[in-house]
């Protein structure tokens, strides 16, 4: 059996985070999104085919030609933008596991379906089927039809983009006709396969993590941090440090005296937490970063970022090579306490969250007393002026 991992798309809803890195390589709890799922499936396949396009070299340079001794090959997606263009022209005589990179699935769910002898599609019951591809099934969960974003209620089993097919799916993809919308539809390919072979809809039993928007990065990190059962201390903690929950401290990292940690935290290699830092509620700090005299809550700080002065930031994503000056403050909610609306792909959407943060991208430099309104982005290589308010 072979695995096909769909990793060609940019992930435009995650901009600016995907300006310089493809979405599959965004790290969640120290591993790229794509690697979390590979960890669960590599034992069941004899080859992994990763479909690439946007910034393909970053993925190729990370995995090279194998993942834990399973051969890895790459398929460059062509310029056709329809959904199944990702696997067009791939050739195989083996059964195929096809997995999208958008979500991180539970190990036990994937194990169960990978050992299932029939062909299947992974599904989940949803309260809003009108925004998904929805499977219609019989009493034994055999797929009868899949309909994309049905206007009237037909069922509530949403397509999760994880499948097991035989190799005939590749021929079907190459020969499906244009739909009424003048597109090559994923639904047409699945429906044709279900007409030829038994195809089961298997509902996941555990939670899964969908990383569709920037704020999902914080939710995903919190998901893993909340499951920590014990601390892992691989380097140095000085005296007079208060740790009230579980932490992971990687090699080369240090927590200095008078630091106060009151929830779970993950501190990666060679980072430094200096005196009077206050870490609250699921903080992730990556390589070679340093904070001091700072209060942070539910924050993901990436590599080579420095914040050595008094500052206060909640629920934010801070990328690489950022310098935070003294008295930087991020606001996390509106004055009227209503949900925060976010501009995504030129459309204003309701985040459904009352608290939301800022995103600070690579190589940003802030000056003293910068104030950032809820859900604002500071783009690559930008700098702020003293007392600047980012509205």
Q: Which residues are designated catalytic?
A: 309
Per DSSP, what are the bridge partners of residue 161? none
Give phi and psi for 14, each to the nearest 5.
-95, 5
**Taking the chain, what is the end-to-end CA distance rounded to the nearest angstrom?**
52
| Rounded-to-integer distance, Cα 374 and Cα 202, Å | 40
Token code pair at residue 119: 């062909």
Q: Residue 60, Cβ neighbours under 10 Å: how many? A: 14
Look at residues 316, 227, 207, 205 and name the one whose alpha carbon lies nearest to residue 29. 227
What are the respective helix, strand and coil percentages of the chain, to the nearest 5? 20, 35, 50
Distance CA 143, CA 368 (A): 59
Q: Alpha-carbon distance 98 to 382, whole Å?
A: 40
- Cα dist. 155→12, 147, 286 in Å? 29, 10, 43
E-strand spans in 103-246?
103-104, 119-125, 133-137, 143-148, 157-165, 199-203, 209-210, 232-233, 236-237, 242-243
* C-alpha dist (Å) from residue 38 to 23, 47, 63, 190: 15, 11, 11, 24
- The residues near 161 (Cβ < 8 Å, ≥ 6 apart) are 6, 98, 99, 100, 102, 103, 122
């Amino acid at each position: 059996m072979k695995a096909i991992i769909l990793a060609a798309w940019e992930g435009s809803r995650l901009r600016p985070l995907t300006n310089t890195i493809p979405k599959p390589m965004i790290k969640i709890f120290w591993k790229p999104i794509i690697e979390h799922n590979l960890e669960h499936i590599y034992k069941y396949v004899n080859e992994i085919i990763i479909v690439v396009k946007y910034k393909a070299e970053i993925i190729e340079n990370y995995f090279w030609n194998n993942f834990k001794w399973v051969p890895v090959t790459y398929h460059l997606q062509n310029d056709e933008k329809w959904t199944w263009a990702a696997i067009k022209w791939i050739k195989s005589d083996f059964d195929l596991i096809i997995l999208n990179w958008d979500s991180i699935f539970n190990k036990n769910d994937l194990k169960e379906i990978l050992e299932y002898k029939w062909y299947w599609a992974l599904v989940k019951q949803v309260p809003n089927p009108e925004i998904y591809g929805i499977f219609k099934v019989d009493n034994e969960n055999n797929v009868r039809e899949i309909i994309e974003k049905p206007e009237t209620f037909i069922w509530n089993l949403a397509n999760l983009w994880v499948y097991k097919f035989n190799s005939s799916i590749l021929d079907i993809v190459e020969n499906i006709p244009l739909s009424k919308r003048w597109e090559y539809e994923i639904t047409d390919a699945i429906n044709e396969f279900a007409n030829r072979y038994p195809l089961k809809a298997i509902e996941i039993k555990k939670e899964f993590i969908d990383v569709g928007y920037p704020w999902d990065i914080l939710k995903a990190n919190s998901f893993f941090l909340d499951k920590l059962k014990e601390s892992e201390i691989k380097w140095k903690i000085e005296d007079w440090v208060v740790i009230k929950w579980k932490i992971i401290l990687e090699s080369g990292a240090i927590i200095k005296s008078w630091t106060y940690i009151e929830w779970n935290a993950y501190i990666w290699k060679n980072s430094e937490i200096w005196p009077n830092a206050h870490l609250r509620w699921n903080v992730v700090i990556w390589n070679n970063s340093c904070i001091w005299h700072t209060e942070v809550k539910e924050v993901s700080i990436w590599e080579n970022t420095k914040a050595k002065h008094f500052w206060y930031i909640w629920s934010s994503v801070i990328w690489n090579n950022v310098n935070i000056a003294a008295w930087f403050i991020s606001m996390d909610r509106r004055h009227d306490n209503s949900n925060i609306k976010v501009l995504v792909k030129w459309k204003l959407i309701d985040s459904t969250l009352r608290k939301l943060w800022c995103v600070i991208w690579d190589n940003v430099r802030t000056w003293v007393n910068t104030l950032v309104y809820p859900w604002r982005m500071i783009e690559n290589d930008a700098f702020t002026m003293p007392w600047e308010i980012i509205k």
